[in-house]
Amino acid sequence: MRVRRTPVISVCLALIGLALGGPAAAADSGPQTYTFAVIGDIPYGPAQIARFPAVVDQINADRPVKLVTHLGDIKDGSSVCSDEYFAQVKTQFDRFADPLVYTVGDNEWTDCHRVNNGGYNPLERLARIRKVFFPEPGRTLGRHSVKVESQVAQGIPEDVRFTRGDVAFAALHIVGSNNSMAPWTGRTAPTPEQTAEVLNRTAAVMQSIRDTFAQARAEHDKAVVLLTQADMFDPTVTSPSFADYYAFQPIVQEIAREAANFRGPVYLFNGDSHVYNSDKPLAATSAWTKFYGVTAPVDNLSRITVDGSTGDNDYLRVTIDSRNPAVLSWTRVPFTS
């Protein structure tokens, strides 16, 4: 897996108080193509936990797939965030035959303050997630671990960048619950520690976005892929509340700026809202464009939401083909168990 390195630039910012299937996937017909799988919001509940080993087996048996990405939420939002459960999921992650890039979700740390989650301090759970799932910063999970560019120097080993098939990838730690600014149980506002964590992580995310696009332009990559848990453009939300989405605003504006200055297609894969969807979230006709203060449409940005939660019955098989003007194509592959 080709990895490029650029210096980290320090960032200072403040947050304001932001149909079935996509295009049918092309066959993996030769060295000019590269195929990866995308899952998210799995396993949710006892039945999915029991079948998750079979999910791993099925993806392992999908011969064209050379990389797996998990978009976060390794548990449902009403179950305990225990060390034992984390270890159980990690055991299955270690069974993936291909490199696994795991993007952290809110259910495994942000929401763990809830009583039915165990009443944890979310920051303590985040530290545990990093210890369990990122024991070797700068390397993927899976049996065939490979090197990636990591933000471990900034204390955020889960934010990684890599390149495959002339496409620049960035896994970005952006979570639901207003990117973790939603007040914890018993509180009416974020704690200072909570706010500090979000500011630091948001700065790192924005730097990673800039670095990814800078590398893509310098290396003449054909496309950019961003991987994140949070659905910042939930299509079921017709009248978004500023209080529920303001922490996403600087990130969305950064994506818009960088995508507008990139000549190729940009793809954002996310989970969170649990129902497959493919759209143009910052098109002229999208209400999200005005909501986030994006001043011009970003027509080269496409967003794909994977199925998840109780409706998680498939994974995405995504094929990169640099001969295709769209570069990426994908299909939904039903789980067989």
Is 16 among the domain residues?
Answer: no
Per-residue pLDDT 10s for the chain (337 aa) are 444 433 333 333 344 343 334 444 444 444 579 999 999 999 999 999 999 999 999 999 999 999 999 999 999 999 999 999 999 999 999 999 999 999 999 999 999 999 999 999 999 999 999 999 999 999 999 999 999 999 999 999 999 999 999 999 999 999 999 999 999 999 999 999 999 999 999 999 999 999 999 999 999 999 999 999 999 999 999 899 999 999 999 999 999 999 999 999 999 999 999 999 999 999 999 999 999 999 999 999 999 999 999 888 999 999 999 999 999 999 999 999 8
- C-alpha to C-alpha distance for 35 and 333, rounded to whole angstroms: 13
CA-only gyration radius of the chain, Å: 18
CATH number at residue 148: 3.60.21.10
pTM over 0.75: yes
- C-alpha to C-alpha distance for 278 and 110, rounded to whole angstroms: 26
Is 115 among the domain residues?
Answer: yes
Is 322 among the domain residues?
Answer: yes
The number of folded domains in the chain is 1
Closest listed residue to residue 56, CA positions, set 2, 102, 94: 94
Residues in CB range of 191: below 8 A, 6 or more apart? 184
Closest listed residue to residue 231, CA positions, set 264, 202, 203, 272: 272
- What are residue 329's DSSP bridge partners? 319
209 in Cβ contact with 225 (< 8 Å): no
Is 269 among the domain residues?
Answer: yes
Is 221 among the domain residues?
Answer: yes
Range of the structural domain that residue 227 is part of: 33-334
- What are residue 315's DSSP bridge partners? 333
